[in-house]
Each structure stands twice: as C-alpha cells, then as structure tokens.
Amino acid sequence: MKKLLALSFFISTLYSFAQNNTIAAGEKLVFTASYNMSGLLTDIAEVKMETSEVKTSKTTLLRLKCTATTYKKWDDFFKIRDIYESYVNPKTLTPYLYKRDISEGGYYKFMQYKYNHKANLVKSLKRKKKKDGTTWDENKAVRISTGTKDIVSLLYTLRNLDIHKATPGDQQEFTVLFDNKETTVVVSYIKKETISTALGSKACYKLSFALKGNDILKGNNANLLWLTADANKVPVYAKFKIPVGNGELKITSATGLKH
C-alpha cells in the first residue's frame, strides 16, 4: 500500500468532484464506534456527522460537524469529547475554516485553520493545556498546496466522487493538512459489495485508505469504508487498524438526506 501507482489523466477525470451534488444542510448521521479490547469488539462511543447552513456577513457556508462521545459507562475509564468542524463552500466543499477540539482521557488540544486559497496559505492556531490547567497558544503561517483539505472536508468530498465510473484498483490521492503538516491520503476503489446495516441491506462501494509514507494506518486493505451505491453515498460502515489497535464504525441512523 505504500507504493501506489499514480493515476492516469483518464482516471483522474472519472473522480471529478468540482460540484457538490450529494451533501445538503440538515443531514445527520449517527454511528456506534467499537474498539477491540482484549480480543473483543466493544461499543465505546457515539459518533455524529451533521451539516448545517451558516450565514456570515459576506456569504453562506456549509458547516460540517463531527463529534465523538464515549458512552457514560466508559467515561471513568477513558473519557472522549471530540469535535471536528469544517466550514466549506456549499457548492464545491472547499474549506475556509477548520476547527479541531479534542479532549481524550485528560489530554486536550485545539487546532484552528483559516484558509487563504489564493495565497496557498493557512493561518494556524494550536492551543494545548499544561499540567497545571493553564493553556498556551502557538500561531503559525503554513504553506499549503492547491486543493489541500482538512480531514472533515475530505470525508464529505469522497461522497461526491463519481465512483460508479471507477473499476477495481482505481486510485485517487488527496492532500490533507493535519497538525500543520500536509499528508497524502490514497483512496482505492476495491469493489461493489452488498452488506447488512441498520438502514437495511445496502449495495455499497468498498474503498480502502492509506497514508503515503506514514505507518499510522496499518495493514494491507485494513482501513476500509463502505459508501451506499446511490445518490447519497452514505458512509454506513468502516474498519480501521492503527498501531494501538483496531475498531469499527457502524451507522445507526441517517436523517435529512438530500436524495
């Protein structure tokens, strides 16, 4: 997975995502996150993905909000309260503002990106807590490539790919800014597969993920995502494997879909 072939121009055109025809304001997806604990997959948290319209003095943006919250019985063991947000152009899903606010087992970190796509620049703010509870800020100007996204806007961008035109083995690369560093995410189309979900039996596009030159995601085809093979391309199931373990994400409900 570390040495993936570059896309031909033909394949690149198949994966066109210039216009958002899939995501609308008012969508809400709810998932159960499971983690392998002592060889047993255990439900530990609820994950939500929600969209809403935000009006500013100059324009209207689409807010993409993802939250992760451990179930109460796990809070004493390892409490998680994470929020990821991306404010994007409703038509192209181009990000203009990104916020990451994570609180995990006593560890706290806040990241904010303000994009200037014309200058290929991001104004970054990182805030962390010291042991005594006080916080410190770090401001940076980070150069980015054309088309660089954050992790949230990438997740929604994937749902606008013309996957129905792809054949098994086709790949696409995306540049993502994470912790002030650009990372290349490689997405590969595996096949079309029907799986059982809380929404019923669904024909899905099965995709795999890898990080170029990075070992955070482990294994060959061990990090997978299933999107419904319809106009909404709802993420209904995901599997991941990282250095400290593996887990799954299963959808429990989907409301406010555009189609």
Q: How does pLDDT run across 225-245, given as a tens digit for each residue?
A: 999 999 999 999 999 887 767
Residue 78 domain-assigned? yes
pLDDT, one tens digit per residue, over 51-91 is 999 999 989 999 999 999 999 999 999 999 999 999 999 99
Asked if 180 contacts 140 with a C-beta cutoff of 8 angstroms, the reply is: yes
* Residue 139, beta-bridge partner list: 125
- pTM of the prediction? 0.90
Residue 1 domain-assigned? no
Residue 99 domain-assigned? yes
pLDDT at 86: 98
Residue 145 domain-assigned? yes
Structural domain including 96 reads 9-255
pLDDT, one tens digit per residue, over 185-230 is 999 999 999 999 999 999 999 999 988 876 655 556 779 999 999 9
Assign 73 to helix, strand or coil: helix
Residues 6+ apart with CB under 8 A from 222: 239, 240, 241, 246
pLDDT, one tens digit per residue, over 94-139 is 999 999 999 999 899 999 999 999 999 999 999 998 878 888 999 9
Q: At 61, which CATH number? A: 2.40.360
The answer to whether residue 25 scores a pLDDT higher than 80 is yes
The answer to whether residue 257 scores a pLDDT higher than 90 is yes
Residue 33 domain-assigned? yes
User: Tokens standing for 175?
Assistant: 């540049």
Cα radius of gyration rounded to whole Å, the chain: 18
Residue 35 domain-assigned? yes
Residue 2 domain-assigned? no
Could you tell me which residue, 245 or 45, shows the higher pLDDT? Answer: 45
The answer to whether residue 4 scores a pLDDT higher than 70 is no
Total of domains in the chain: 1
Residue 3 domain-assigned? no
